[in-house]
Structure 1
């Protein structure tokens, strides 16, 4: 799993994109369009945000806030045109299917949301992009986007304080907080997301074909140890093998009880070293206060050194 954010220039201002990247943000979604045009009457475009993310190499994509009118196809065209104009092609174009804030406009009736989403996503696919859809947990349970019949649909579900309900079906992305804080972003809060697959990534262009996914193999609870110790982790040996260190973060995605990172000694078949030890990276900060992913391609096992006053978790993926 990897950390991502979704932002809107009306509510978030990025002052330091390198700080955002250094915090561990690996993908960004920017609100680009709304209904039949640009957000807030064109006063809040995503141009600067897209350019900033691209300048530091963070994959960035655009999302569209659905409205009752115009047609789903017309709204999809608005998004794809803006994605192309800004080069926001690092992540798949995303439909944001939710209701307007109270009193701010008519909503798509619940009985029409499914048809709207399917038509919108099919139009995105017809334009040469892999489609995606975002909705909250309640809507996902009601609409079951995994049963839309849209090939290769990327699904993003919002639920705070818990994983999406199993009754919501499969998902690729989880928005787990709307109260995060990210260095380099000036805002009252930032939405925080985590990826469970790489399906949202395109490699920089249109991606009608599904990319290979990275699956969670095991989640280990690691005991507290105030003094430095180590734990042995068994990995898949694949090119996507990795571990994700997960301190027990609060709603803003940060912990008050950091994990102090030590060496990671990773080995492939026949005890061939695979590298990837972060302690060998100049300037590496061993104080881990949020989730961190370490790629260990080809590793079949690894000894992970750490100290921590509280227990934490490690995801083994690959």
Structure 2
């Protein structure tokens, strides 16, 4: 395990993703991300529609556990989807470490079973206050590092970071501190992915629409289905074939 952990997750991911993904004729697996707002989801229908993965909201801050998380997680698993959990960050309410541990205690873990995606940190615009949660850029970077390092110390892998380029530039000063460790999940509702935050030369996931033919937000994995399956295994798949 120590040898495996010495290999950067992002370096591995780089071998099967490209810098500028677009919705073209490639085998990019489609997915969704959902929460209690979607209610019950027929995952068999989702799978039949050709989707391969789903990210499911587990927690928010340290006071909210998504009421549909277990139902969604079990349903996705039974339908044969690759699935993972995400945490909506509230950097103004408690430390990154505290929220990482809360996330891990309520469904945010990772295991090398080939069907579990690494947990994702959803860090974006504050729905109820200051855009940057009252933190300076340096304080925000410290908060994210605290969450990321805590998650890594507990699971052996770094969390995916979900954000927008605009928020990242505004609230972290466009920090490049996480590009060598954390996979990027970018949100941009357009026909192309656009400029990425500093340091990242590619994104692992792209949330390209907030609605579509399937429940929740619409996502794209930057690779093929075999690559997505290898990605769920993370550092267990050292030798990656070229795609």
TM (normalized to structure 2)?
Answer: 0.71
Change beyond 3 A, Cα 1:57–1:199: closer
Change beyond 3 A, Cα 1:115–1:125: same
| Residue of structure 2 in register with 1:193 after alignment | 219
Q: Deviations over 1:208-262 (max 9, x none)?
A: x385698xxxxxxxxxxxxxxxxxxxxxxx5x6xxxxxxxxxxxxxxxxxxxxxx
Question: How many residues are treated as equivalent by the alignment?
Answer: 203
What RMSD over aligned residues (CA atoms) do the two structures have, in Å?
3.2
Query: Are the equivalent residues in 1 in contact too, given 2:60–2:87 (CA < 8 A)?
Result: yes
Larger proportion of strand: 1
Change beyond 3 A, Cα 1:137–1:27: same
Which segments of 5 or more consecutive residues in structure 1 lack a partner in the other structure?
A: 215-237, 241-317
Aligned mate of 1:4, from 28, 31, 56: 31
| Residue of structure 1 in register with 2:98 after alignment | 74
Q: How does 1:44-63 map to 2 (within 5 A)?
A: 44-63=67-86
Residue 114 of structure 1, CA deviation: 1.9
**Partners in 1 of 2:128 and 2:51 — Cα distance?**
31
Q: How does 1:160-309 map to 2 (within 5 A)?
A: 160-168=189-197, 169-170=200-201, 171-182=203-214, 185=215, 190-197=216-223, 198=227, 201-203=231-233, 207=234, 209=235, 211=237
Query: Are the equivalent residues in 2 in contact too, given 1:92–1:129 (CA < 8 A)?
Result: no
Aligned mate of 2:150, from 123, 139, 159: 123
**Partners in 1 of 2:178 and 2:131 — Cα distance?**
30
- Computing the radius of gyration from Cα coordinates, the structure with the larger value is 1
**Partners in 2 of 1:102 and 1:191 — Cα distance?**
21
Larger proportion of helix: 2
**Partners in 1 of 2:53 and 2:71 — Cα distance?**
16
| Residue of structure 2 in register with 1:300 after alignment | none
Residue 174 of structure 1, CA deviation: 0.8
Change beyond 3 A, Cα 1:146–1:71: closer
TM (normalized to structure 1)?
Answer: 0.56
| Residue of structure 1 in register with 2:123 after alignment | 97
Pairing 1:155–2:187 present: no
Residue 109 of structure 1, CA deviation: 2.6
Residue 164 of structure 1, CA deviation: 3.1
Task: Give the SS at the match of 1:18.
Answer: helix
Query: Are the equivalent residues in 2 in contact too, given 1:160–1:176 (CA < 8 A)?
Result: yes
Task: Give the SS at the match of 2:56.
Answer: strand
Q: Deviations over 1:177-221 (max 9, x none)?
A: 012231xx4xxxx20011114479424xxx5x385698xxxxxxx
**Partners in 2 of 1:179 and 1:76 — Cα distance?**
28
| More contact order relative to length (CA 8 Å, sep ≥ 6) | 2
Moved over 3 A (4+): 84-89, 102-106, 140-146, 149-152, 197-201, 210-214
Task: Give the SS at the match of 2:209.
Answer: strand
Aligned mate of 1:132, from 160, 163, 176: 160
